[in-house]
Structure 1
Amino acid sequence: MARQLGELEAVVMDRLWTWERPTTVREVLDDLIEDRKLAYTTVMTVMDNLHRKGVLSREPDGRAYRYSPVRTRADHTADLIASVLSTSDDRTAPLLRFVEQMDPDELARLRAALERLGAASEPPPGPRRRQR
């Protein structure tokens, strides 16, 4: 079950999900340093913690590591939503409240996705019987 990310963890993950490539601590730090004052060791600790928690994978690259998200942003978000819904006795009520807050474009995409899921779950048509 996914857990909510801390503030700096979320910022780091946002970069990695956006970049969609294995990334070093130095690259993340160089990007983040434009907006906030951070030490290399702070970013390294955050990324190492995310690795230990199973959120990031890593591969050696010289004396450093290159980190990659284990799951997509969409998968992580879906797990968070499922985690929140699991605390409710009635999962439908919060889902309906959420849908009521969606803008028309989001609602249209949701309808289309539900239609695709419905079509995918229908059994394929069987062979037709001959009429005598």
Structure 2
Amino acid sequence: MRSFGQLEARVMNSLWEADEPVTVHEVVSDLGEQKAVAYTTVITVLERLRGKGWVSRSREGRSYRYDTTATKHQYSAHLMSQVLREAPDRSAALLSFVGQLEVSELRDVLDAIPDEAPGGSDA
């Protein structure tokens, strides 16, 4: 899977920043603060994102409320996993990526892994 397109990313960011599921009208209003987008265009984008599994919807009266099915962090992790899966040498790509991190960042991440996590030290 490739990353979101420009408008998809704007719509997803609007959903991620919301405290609760939102209507199309609320997304249009939020996006309009940056650059106006047509109501029907937002519906189309939301439905495509729903088809891809990134957005869910629930009926409220005569309209729908939309919400994300994954956090922004989960989406980022998905993209990184996709890139690693497509790399000719996964280990080399991962090593290069880790080499770009600050040591303190890497230590913080490793310390945050629960002992019972897959691959965690449980011995």
TM-score, normalization: structure 2?
A: 0.84
The residue matched to 1:46 in structure 2 has which SS?
A: helix
Equivalent in the alignment of 2:111:
115
- Identity, in percent, stands at 42
Shift of 1:36: 1.2
Query: Is 1:99 matched with 2:101?
Result: no
Q: What does the per-residue CA deviation read over 1:28-80, in whole Å, with 9 as the maximum and x for residues that have no partner? A: 10011122121110111101111121110100111111011011111111111
| Equivalent AA in structure 2 for residue 7 of structure 1 | Q
Structure 2 residue runs without a partner (length 5+): none
| Equivalent AA in structure 1 for residue 67 of structure 2 | S
| Equivalent AA in structure 2 for residue 89 of structure 1 | P
Equivalent in the alignment of 2:82:
83
Query: Is 1:52 matched with 2:51?
Result: yes
CA distance in 1: counterparts of 2:122 and 2:82, whole angstroms = 30
* 69 and 86 in structure 1: CA distance in 2 versus 1, 3 angstrom threshold: same
- What is the number of equivalent residue pairs in this alignment? 120
| RMSD between aligned residues | 1.9
CA distance in 2: counterparts of 1:36 and 1:118, whole angstroms = 43
Compare relative contact order (CA 8 Å, sep 6+) and give the higher one, 1 or 2: 1
Shift of 1:111: 1.4
| Equivalent AA in structure 2 for residue 54 of structure 1 | G
Equivalent residues in 2 for 1:64-79, closer than 5 Å: 64-79=63-78
